Amino acid sequence: MLHWIYTAMAAWIAWLLLEELFEEKSWRIQVSLVLILIPLVLRILQIK
C-alpha cells in the first residue's frame, strides 16, 4: 500500500514539474526542473 501511495505522490510531483517546465522562462530553472524529473520518472516506471 505504502508503495502505491509513494508512486502516486511521485507521479503528482512529476506532473507539477512538467507544468512548471513549460511555463518557466528562465533556462537555469528549466534545467533544474528536468534534473529533478529524472529520478521521479524512474520511480514511477518502477525501475529505480
Smallest separation (angstroms) from another protein to the CB of 10 = 13
In this complex, which beta carbon is closest to another protein, that of residue 13 or of residue 37? 37
- In degrees and rounded to multiples of 5, residue 7 shows phi and psi of -65, -40
Smallest separation (angstroms) from another protein to the CB of 45 = 7
Residues binding another protein (CB under 8 A): 2-3, 21-22, 24-25, 27, 30-31, 33-35, 37-38, 41-42, 45, 47-48
Cα–Cα distances (Å) from 5 to 1, 11, 20, 36, 37, in that order, read: 6, 10, 23, 19, 18
